[in-house]
Amino acid sequence: MSYEIKMVFASLAQVGRSVSKIISGDPKGNNLLYTNGKCIILRNIDNPALANIYTEHAHQAVMAKYSPRGFYIASGDVSEKLRIWDTTQKEHLLKYKAVFLWDSGSSVGKITDHNKVINSVDIKQSRPYWLATGSDNNCAAFFEGPPFKFKFTIGDHSRFVNCVRFSPDGNRFATASADSQIYICDGKTGEKVCMLGRSKAHDGRIYAISWSPDSTHLLSASGDKTSKIWDVNVNSVVSMFPMGSTVLDQQLG
C-alpha cells in the first residue's frame, strides 16, 4: 500500500499544564503567532496548512508579538535574548538583537513592587500612559509614565494574576486570575468598575483574556475547558465555547 503526502502542518503551540501561553496575531487578523521549542510559528487562520517558521533562536522561545503595523515581530527566549525581525521578506532579516540584564535598569522606568514571578505586562496606548503587570503575588501593579514609576496595586485577587490587558481605547483594563475572577477597572484612575460574572467568571483558573477591537467585548480562556465572550457594558456572557472534557482541553492562551 502506498501513501501520498498532500499537506504538512506546522506543530501546535507547546504548552504546559497550568501555565499560561501567549498566543497572538497580526494586526490584519490573517495569522496566528505562537512558539514551540526554539521556533516561532506564523500560521494562516483561513488555511492552517499555510505556515512560516522562524528558527533563529538558540534557546527555547517563550513569547512573540507583532509590531503595531505588523512589519516586525519581537520574540524572546529563556536566555533573556530578544530578537526583532522582519515579516515582509521570507528570509526574516534580523533588525535588532538584545540581551536584557536584570541589574541594568531602563531609560523608560523599572518594574518594582513584585516579590514573585511577573506573568503579564501591558501598556496603555493613550494618555495618561500606564503600564500594568500581573504577578504570582496575587496583585496587579500599575506604573505611570514614561518614564514609568510605580503608582499603586490592586490586591483584590486571591490567587495568581495570569493576565492584564488594557482595552484598545484605553478606557478600561481587565485582570484575570487563577481565582476564577476577572476584574474590570477604569483605565485612567484604576478604580474597580465591576467583576465579570459577579461572583466568578469561570469554574476554573483563568489564563488569558483579550479585548475586541471596539473595546466592548472580552474573550477569556480558562482551565475549566471553556472560553467565553463577554459583553463588558452589561456584564453578561454573549457566547461560551466548550472545548472538551479532559485535562488536555484546558484553555491556556
- Does residue 97 register a pLDDT over 50? yes
* Over residues 54-60, mean pLDDT: 95
Q: What is the pLDDT of residue 102?
A: 42
In sequence order, the 6+-apart residues with CB closer than 8 A to the CB of 90 are: 52
Q: Tens digits of per-residue pLDDT, 224-237?
A: 999 999 999 999 99
Q: What is the pLDDT of residue 105?
A: 45
E strand spans, 78-225: 81-86, 94-99, 118-123, 129-135, 140-145, 149-154, 161-166, 172-177, 182-186, 192-195, 206-211, 217-222
Question: Distances in Å between the alpha carbon of 65 and those of 27, 143, 236?
Answer: 10, 22, 30
* Over residues 179-183, mean pLDDT: 97
Q: CB count, 10 Å around CB of 8?
A: 7
Q: Tens digits of per-residue pLDDT, 121-133?
A: 998 988 888 889 9
- Does residue 104 register a pLDDT over 70? no
Q: Tens digits of per-residue pLDDT, 12-32?
A: 999 888 888 989 999 999 999
Residue 113: CA count within 13 A, CB half-sphere: 20
Q: What is the pLDDT of residue 101?
A: 47
Rounded Cα gap, residues 125 and 182, in angstroms? 21
